[in-house]
Structure formats: structure tokens, C-alpha cells
């Protein structure tokens, strides 16, 4: 017999009221799922574009909200050190490109923000949430090595300290 929580979740899935759980599917050592998303300028970005260097791929719920702003600004403030570790930072949310441009301009964010309006990429990474038909990206981060393998996953992100935590893991893995 299934646990009551599993049965409830299955019922909500069938009614389209929540997203499937994929977070348990991906783990360190697995190939990172491919993606093709556009930035605020309309330029397409693919996972392959980052081959040969480390990629900090972070999903976040919504532009210009307190936690998301703190996380983005922390990455901005540590970006020189992240680049010295031969890594790039890319943020993904379900916000549209115009919202990304405003957010990036407002906080002078020098890294790429990608728009995933249907949440398809977030879903492949287990970072898609859904509540009563509203889709959002969860605050998850994936550290992908130069060969395209997931090396570390953060599901419990503390926005203000997160960039420093990523740097510490990057140093350990290099």
C-alpha cells in the first residue's frame, strides 16, 4: 500500500495542481541535462556552450524578490573569484526575458540570466515547482564540470552565503 502522502501527491499530479518530483532523479556523477534557452537579448544558450569550463547553473523562483536578489548579488560580488576558478554563472527562472533585463540592469548583474517560461528545463533538473497551476523555479543549484557532469547539487540554498559555498566546493573539486 502506498503512503498517504504519495497518494495525495499522485492525486494532485493527476489534477495538474503540482509538478512531478524529479529532484531524486539527478545526482552527482550524472550527465547534466541539456538545455537551449534564450537570454534577455534573445541569444540562445546551450549546455554545450559551456563545455571545457565549470558551470554554476542556478535556478531561482522570481526576479527582484528579496531572496533571489540576495543570491544574484552574492554571485555578482564573487564573480571575479568564480571566473578565476574557470567557472561561469548562469541563472534560470520562469520569468520572461524583459523581466530578466530589468532585474539585471537594476542590480548590475554581469552574468547570464535565462528565461524558461514553461519551466521545461527547470523540470528536467528537478527544480520546477507548481502550486495551483502557477509554475516557478525552485532555488536549486547545480555545479557542472567541464565535461558536462553534475558534480554537486544544492537543494537547501541560503541566498546570502550561497556564492561562498559554491566557491568552497569548486576549490575542493579542483
Q: Which residues are catalytic, by number?
A: 68
Q: What CA–CA distance (Å, rounded) separates 125 from 90?
A: 14
CA angle 29, 173, 35 (to 5 degrees): 50
Residue 118 near residue 38 (C-beta atoms within 8 A): no
Closest to 157 in 3D by CA, of 124, 127, 112, 121: 127
Amino acid at each position: 500500500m502506498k503512503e498517504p502522502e504519495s497518494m495525495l501527491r499522485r492525486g494532485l499530479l493527476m489534477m495538474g495542481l503540482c509538478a512531478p518530483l524529479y529532484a531524486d532523479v539527478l545526482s552527482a556523477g550524472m550527465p547534466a541535462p541539456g538545455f537551449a534557452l534564450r537570454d534577455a537579448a534573445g541569444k540562445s544558450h546551450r549546455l554545450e556552450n559551456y563545455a571545457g569550463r565549470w558551470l554554476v547553473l542556478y535556478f531561482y523562483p522570481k526576479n527582484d524578490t528579496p531572496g533571489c536578489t540576495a543570491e544574484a548579488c552574492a554571485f555578482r560580488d564573487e564573480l571575479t573569484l568564480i571566473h578565476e576558478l574557470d567557472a561561469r554563472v548562469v541563472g534560470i527562472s520562469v520569468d520572461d526575458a524583459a523581466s530578466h533585463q530589468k532585474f539585471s540592469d537594476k542590480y548590475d548583474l554581469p552574468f547570464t540570466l535565462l528565461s524558461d517560461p514553461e519551466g521545461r528545463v527547470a523540470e528536467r533538473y528537478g527544480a520546477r515547482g507548481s502550486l495551483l497551476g502557477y509554475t516557478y523555479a525552485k532555488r536549486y543549484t547545480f555545479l557542472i564540470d567541464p565535461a558536462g557532469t553534475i558534480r554537486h547539487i544544492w537543494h537547501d540554498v541560503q541566498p546570502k552565503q550561497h556564492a561562498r559555498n559554491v566557491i568552497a566546493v569548486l576549490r575542493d573539486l579542483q
